[in-house]
Amino acid sequence: MTADHGIPADWDELEEQGMSARLARYFGHSLHIRHIDVGSCNACESEVLALSNPYYNFHRLGLFFTHSPRHADVLLVTGALTQAMAPVLRETYDAMPRPRLVLAAGVCALHGGVFANSSRFVGPVDSVLPVDAYIPGCPPNPYALLQGLLKAIRSREEVKSS
């Protein structure tokens, strides 16, 4: 059973889609996510943090947050990219080992949202980094974040097999 917008209704559905198997096949180990907020209202951050609470408990899928980009497999970017954060975002990305994935989550990361007309807004995340998956929403819920991660892994698998 799928909830609105193609978002899985429960964890069993995520397992049916083979999330753990895909992670193991692509990365060969658990997946570590470096989350960076490049300028937001913090709504996306509350949804990202919900992933590790007892209800969602994404650790059971082998997903973990890391504070070091050197240990990260995925860069999860939220917020409207500001002039001050653009070089920090680039440095974080450059410090990550390969293979690496980039997820742009939330309306602000995709096109600026309500901050798009600000003089401090640089542009969407993909104007600075290559993005593997776009996760819309204001804010995107935890299931949408997981779906975005699956989408990024699927696209990498397709490129790898071609």
CATH of the domain at 72: 3.40.50.12280
Rounded Cα distance between 33 and 63, Å, is 7
**Contact (Cβ atoms closer than 8 angstroms) between residue 122 and residue 99:** no
CA distance 24 to 77: 23
10 occurs within a structural domain? no
User: Looking at the domain assignment, is residue 104 inside a domain?
Assistant: yes
pTM of the shown model: 0.83
Q: Which domain holds residue 61?
A: 29-161
- Within a domain: residue 81? yes
Residue 139 lies in a domain: yes
In a domain, 7, yes or no: no
Instruction: Give me the residue label for tokens 């920090």.
Output: 88
pLDDT in tens, the chain (162 residues): 344 444 444 555 555 556 666 666 656 667 899 999 999 899 999 999 999 888 888 887 788 999 999 999 999 999 999 999 999 999 999 999 988 999 999 999 999 988 889 899 999 999 999 999 999 999 999 989 988 888 888 777 666 665
Which amino acid is located at 157 in the chain? E
